Amino acid sequence: MVSTMFGFKAKGHSAIEPEDIAIIDPSAHIDPQTGAVIEKKTKAERLFVLRLDAILLVYVCISQVVKYLDQQNISAAYVSGMKEELSLYGNQYNYFTTWFNVGYAIFLIPSQIIITRVRPSIWLPCLEACWGVLTIAMYKVHNYKQVYILRAFIGCFEATCYPGAIMLLMSWYTPRELALRIGFYHSCQSVGNMLAGALQASIYKNLNNVNGISGWRWMMIIDGIITLVVSLAGFVLIPDFPTKVNPRAFWLRPKHVAIAIERTKQFKRADNKKFTLKSIKTALTGPLFYFFVVMYVASVLAQASYQYFNLWLKSLKNPDGTAVWSVAQVNAIPIGGGAITIATIWTWGFISDRFQTRWIPVVVQACIGIIPGIIMSIWNVSNGAKYFSYFVCYLSLATAPPIWAWLSDLNPFDAEQRAFTLGFAIAFYYACGAWSGPLIWPASIAPHYKFGWQVQIALWVLVIILACSLRYVELKHIRPKNRRIAEEKDAAAREAERESQVQANKDVDKKDVDVHRIASIQSA
Q: What is the pLDDT of residues 44-60, one digit of tens each?
A: 999 999 999 999 999 99
Instruction: Decide if 201 contacts 331 (C-beta within 8 A).
Output: yes
Instruction: Give the pLDDT band of residue 368 (cuts 50, 70, 90).
Output: very high
Phi, psi of 8 (to 5 degrees): -90, 155
More reliable by pLDDT, 467 or 13:
467
- pLDDT for 206 equals 85
Q: What is the pLDDT of residues 211-252, one digit of tens each?
A: 888 888 998 999 999 999 999 999 999 999 998 899 999 999
CA–CA distance, 513 with 41 (Å, rounded to integer) = 46
CA–CA distance, 96 with 98 (Å, rounded to integer) = 5
Residue 523 has pLDDT above 70, yes or no: no
Residues 6+ apart with CB under 8 A from 442: 91, 94, 449
Task: Find, among 71, 80, 72, the residue nearest to 325 by Cα.
Answer: 80
Mean pLDDT computed over 182-186: 91
DSSP 8-state symbol, 325: S
More reliable by pLDDT, 369 or 75:
369
Instruction: Give the pLDDT band of residue 270 (cuts 50, 70, 90).
Output: low
Give whole-number Cα distances, 26 to 33, 360, 473, in Å.
Answer: 20, 26, 30
Pairing of strands 29-30, 240-241: unpaired
CA–CA distance, 472 with 19 (Å, rounded to integer) = 24
- pLDDT for 465 equals 98
Phi, psi of 520 (to 5 degrees): -65, -40
Instruction: Decide if 200 contacts 80 (C-beta within 8 A).
Output: yes
4-18, 197-211, 408-422, 475-489: which has the minimum mean pLDDT?
4-18
CA–CA distance, 460 with 363 (Å, rounded to integer) = 9
DSSP run (H or E) holding 30: strand 29-30
CA–CA distance, 425 with 285 (Å, rounded to integer) = 15
Residue 24 has pLDDT above 50, yes or no: no
Q: What is the pLDDT of residues 420-469, one digit of tens each?
A: 898 899 989 888 877 887 788 887 788 888 889 999 999 999 999 999 99
Tally the residues of the chain: 524
Instruction: Decide if 28 contacts 39 (C-beta within 8 A).
Output: yes
Instruction: Decide if 372 contacts 393 (C-beta within 8 A).
Output: yes
Mean pLDDT computed over 337-350: 90
Instruction: Give the pLDDT band of residue 484 (cuts 50, 70, 90).
Output: confident
pLDDT above 70 covers a percentage of the chain that reads 88
Q: What is the pLDDT of residues 304-341, one digit of tens each?
A: 999 889 889 988 999 998 999 987 788 788 888 888 98
Residue 286 has pLDDT above 90, yes or no: no
Mean pLDDT computed over 131-145: 92
CA–CA distance, 167 with 165 (Å, rounded to integer) = 5
Average pLDDT, the chain: 85
Which residues is 38 bridged to in the sheet?
3, 29
DSSP run (H or E) holding 518: helix 479-523
Helix axes 144-158, 92-115, angle to 10 degrees: 30
